Every structure is written in structure tokens, then in C-alpha cells.
């Protein structure tokens, strides 16, 4: 029986499935990543590893894993893995697409509404005892109804966000590296250039993965092109945004507000200026965090490991 590394604590019902096919080394903490030195040491005998975005799979990790057959990544994105290098080592890489699409889209729209209607700010206003009377423009926010919404990244999550926005009769435009005719026909989404998206959107929702093309896409020049009343939402990857440029844009009134589920550094540094801004809402990377969805993500990782160790093709391979 092979050795299977699991780098975060997950429910026993999943560990029991893995124990039926191998010896499991579990990092028994749900909140703290497995230390790098411990991870590298564990890889020396591993035939499979179940990882999260916290684990970096690079040349050092792969050279430490002579028996590794599969890396099961509990995420859709895989920018934490050098996929081509893993394939060069004859290691299968898998991810967890599809199962988290709808849940992440729900979070994206929830975050958009929370920022637009100043929900977090309003809750604090009540909790701090500031609610003394009524005023015509007390905590007045922005309407999503019939707004112009630009989606950057029209993959499955982008399309799921767009479907929900149709209920608000939003005017949807999108930018993607390639056109999605199905989104245009089914959702009435308009394909536009990145500049057009920036200049014309009341809301910009980023759902894009991190690639060489998307890294730092939202920089100083991008924020300068947005409407001063624009709201920026990021549920994609933190490094798609130049955070210093975002902070400057908020401070200087270049944009109205932002909502972020992902950041360049996670967890966030408590000295990050975004935490002191009333017009910035930060949540801790909870896009797929519903109980049902997290169960499905973990089960998909387990199923992929079981299949590969049995000499079969995985359900969701990442192609190099």
C-alpha cells in the first residue's frame, strides 16, 4: 500500500476512504498549512498527495517525491503547481472544477451587493451605537438593478455570475481572451475590449484565473480608466490586482469601492491599508465555502486519488 499525504484536516469520512487504499499521513490542522519542511519530508515516500493552494509544487517538491503518482489540488485554479514540470516527472495533476461554480458565483453576487449597499459599514454603524435617527441619504449606496456590469473572465464562474445578474436586469459586458458565443446568445452578454470594459462598467467583477496574461491586469492605468462611481469585485485570484494601485485608487476617489475575496497575500497582513477603508470589504477566500460544495471538492480529490492509484484515468486531470 502506498503513502498518501493530506495537508489539511478534513472530515474522517474522507480519510477513511483513503485509508482503505493506503497509509495516510494527515496534517491534523484545518487552519494552518503543513510546514514546508514537513511536507517535503513526507513527499519522500508518498505515492499521492491531497493539497490546497497553500502548498507550492515546484522543482524542489517534485525532486523530493520520487514515488509520487498524483497531486490532487483542492481548488479550480492550479497556479500553485508547476503543471508541466509535474508531467515531466510523470505525475498526474488534478483539480476540482465544476463542483464549486455555482457556490462561488453566489458569493460573487453577495459580495457585490454587500459593497453596493454598504452592508458591512451599515452593520458596524448599528453595532457602534451611531444609529440615532433617520436621514434621506443615510448610508446610501448603489443599485445593481439595470446597472452596467463588466465581467473579466467569462469562464464557468463568470457565466454563473452573469446568469444571476440577469435577475437584476443588468446590462452585461465581458472581456475574455476568447469570445464565448454561448454566453452572448444565452445571457445577452456583450463581448468588449478590456478598455471598453473599464470605461463603461458601473461594476467590474473579476473571475479570472492567474496567468501570465492576467497577472497585475488591474494596475494603476486600469483603475484610472474606470468610472469614479465604479465598484470593483475580485473573486478570481489576488495577483490579478496590483494592490498598491487599488489602494491608491480608493484613497484618491478614482473608484467608489471594492470587495475582495482573494488577495495577493493570504491571510492578509493586518497592517494592510485596505482593512482601514470603509469602502473596502474583505472576506477570507470563502468563494466555495458552503458545506455541500466543500464536501464535493474533497470527495473529488479522493476519487481522483483512488482512480490513479488503481491505474485508471482521473475524473478531472489538469492538462499541461
Chain segment 117-164, per-residue pLDDT in tens: 999 999 999 999 999 999 999 999 999 999 999 999 999 999 999 999
Q: What is the pLDDT of residue 235?
A: 98
Judge if 55 and 109 occupy the same domain. no
Give the number of domains in the chain: 2
pLDDT at 114 over 80: yes
Judge if 218 and 264 occupy the same domain. yes
Residue 319 lies in a domain: no
Judge if 131 and 276 occupy the same domain. yes
Judge if 62 and 76 occupy the same domain. yes
Q: How far is residue 192's CA from residue 311's CA, in Å, rounded to a whole number?
A: 45
285 is an active site residue: yes
Residue 188 lies in a domain: yes
Let me know: does 5 contact 22? Beta carbons within 8 Å.
Answer: no
Chain segment 234-277, per-residue pLDDT in tens: 999 999 999 999 999 999 999 999 999 999 999 999 999 999 99
Q: What is the pLDDT of residue 34?
A: 97
Q: What is the rounded average pLDDT of the residues 76-90?
A: 97
Residue 227 lies in a domain: yes
Residue 316 lies in a domain: no
Distances (CA, A) of 126 to 120, 129, 137, 271: 10, 5, 16, 25
Judge if 163 and 262 occupy the same domain. yes
Judge if 304 and 161 occupy the same domain. no
Alpha-helical regions (H) of 238-290: 243-251
Let me know: does 8 contact 29? Beta carbons within 8 Å.
Answer: yes
Distances (CA, A) of 320 to 53, 157, 221, 239, 275: 18, 22, 32, 21, 38
Which of 51, 108, 100 shows the shortest CA–CA distance to 290? Answer: 100
Judge if 24 and 144 occupy the same domain. no
Judge if 167 and 265 occupy the same domain. yes
Q: What is the pLDDT of residue 219?
A: 98
Judge if 144 and 235 occupy the same domain. yes
- The mean of the pLDDT values for the chain is 97
Let me know: does 3 contact 45? Beta carbons within 8 Å.
Answer: yes
Residue 181 lies in a domain: yes
Chain segment 226-238, per-residue pLDDT in tens: 999 999 999 999 9
Q: How far is residue 142's CA from residue 259's CA, in Å, rounded to a whole number?
A: 14
Residue 201 lies in a domain: yes
Which of 278, 268, 257 shows the shortest CA–CA distance to 204? Answer: 257
Q: Is this model's pTM higher than 0.85 or not?
A: yes
Which of 58, 45, 61, 60 shows the shortest CA–CA distance to 84? Answer: 58
For residues 112-135, one letter each, b for 16 or more C-beta atoms within 10 angstroms of the residue's C-beta and e for the rest, the string is bebbbbbbbbbeeeeeeeeeeeee
Domain housing 301 = 3-98+291-310
Judge if 180 and 295 occupy the same domain. no
Q: How far is residue 68's CA from residue 51's CA, in Å, rounded to a whole number?
A: 13
Let me know: does 48 contact 308? Beta carbons within 8 Å.
Answer: yes
Q: What is the pLDDT of residue 181?
A: 97
266 is an active site residue: yes
Q: What is the pLDDT of residue 320?
A: 76
- Determine the longest span between alpha carbons in the chain, in angstroms: 69
Judge if 105 and 238 occupy the same domain. yes
Which of 288, 287, 264, 260 shows the shortest CA–CA distance to 275? Answer: 260
DSSP secondary structure letter of residue 140: -
Chain segment 18-48, per-residue pLDDT in tens: 999 999 999 999 999 999 999 999 999 999 9
Q: Which of 8, 237, 243, 294 is catalytic?
A: 237
Q: What is the pLDDT of residue 1?
A: 75
Chain segment 171-217, per-residue pLDDT in tens: 999 999 999 999 999 999 999 999 999 999 999 999 999 999 999 99
Residue 73 CA, chain-centre distance (Å), reads: 13
Residue 254 lies in a domain: yes
Q: What is the rounded average pLDDT of the residues 70-79?
A: 96
Residue 315 lies in a domain: no
| CATH number (domain holding residue 8) | 3.40.50.720
Q: What's the CA dihedral at 189, 195, 199, 202 to 10 degrees?
A: 40
Judge if 225 and 192 occupy the same domain. yes
Q: How far is residue 146's CA from residue 166's CA, in Å, rounded to a whole number?
A: 9
Q: Which of 175, 180, 285, 294 is catalytic?
A: 285
Q: What is the pLDDT of residue 232?
A: 99
Amino acid at each position: 500500500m502506498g503513502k498518501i499525504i493530506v495537508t489539511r484536516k478534513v472530515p474522517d469520512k474522507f480519510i477513511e476512504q483513503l485509508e482503505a487504499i493506503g497509509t495516510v499521513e494527515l496534517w491534523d490542522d484545518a487552519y494552518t498549512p503543513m510546514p514546508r519542511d514537513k511536507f517535503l519530508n513526507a513527499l519522500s515516500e508518498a505515492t499521492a498527495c491531497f493539497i490546497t493552494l497553500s502548498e507550492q509544487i515546484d522543482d524542489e517538491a517534485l525532486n523530493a517525491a520520487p514515488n509520487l503518482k498524483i497531486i490532487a489540488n483542492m481548488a479550480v485554479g492550479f497556479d500553485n503547481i508547476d503543471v508541466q514540470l509535474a508531467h515531466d516527472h510523470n505525475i498526474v495533476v488534478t483539480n476540482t472544477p465544476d463542483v464549486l461554480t455555482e457556490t462561488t458565483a453566489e458569493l460573487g453576487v453577495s459580495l457585490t451587493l454587500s459593497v453596493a449597499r454598504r452592508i458591512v459599514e451599515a452593520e458596524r454603524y448599528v453595532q457602534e451605537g451611531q444609529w440615532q435617527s433617520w436621514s434621506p441619504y443615510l448610508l446610501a449606496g448603489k443599485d445593481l438593478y439595470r446597472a452596467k456590469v463588466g465581467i473579466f473572465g467569462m469562464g464557468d464562474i463568470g457565466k454563473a455570475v452573469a446568469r444571476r445578474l440577469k435577475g437584476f436586469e443588468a446590462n452585461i459586458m465581458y472581456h475574455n481572451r476568447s469570445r464565448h458565443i454561448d454566453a452572448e446568445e444565452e445571457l445577452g452578454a456583450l463581448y468588449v475590449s478590456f478598455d471598453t470594459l473599464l470605461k463603461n462598467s458601473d461594476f467590474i467583477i473579476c473571475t479570472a484565473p492567474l496567468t501570465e496574461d492576467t497577472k497585475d491586469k488591474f494596475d494603476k492605468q486600469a483603475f484610472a480608466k474606470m468610472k469614479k462611481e465604479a465598484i470593483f469585485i475580485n473573486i478570481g485570484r489576488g495577483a490579478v490586482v496590483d494592490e498598491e494601485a487599488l489602494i491608491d485608487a480608493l484613497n484618491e476617489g478614482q473608484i467608489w469601492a471594492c470587495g475582495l475575496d482573494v488577495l495577493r497575500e493570504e491571510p492578509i497582513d493586518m497592517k494592510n491599508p485596505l482593512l482601514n477603508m470603509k469602502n473596502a470589504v474583505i472576506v477570507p477566500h470563502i468563494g466555495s465555502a458552503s458545506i455541500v460544495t466543500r464536501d464535493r471538492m474533497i470527495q473529488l480529490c479522493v476519487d481522483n486519488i483512488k482512480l490513479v492509484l488503481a491505474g485508471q484515468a482521473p475524473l478531472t486531470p489538469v492538462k499541461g
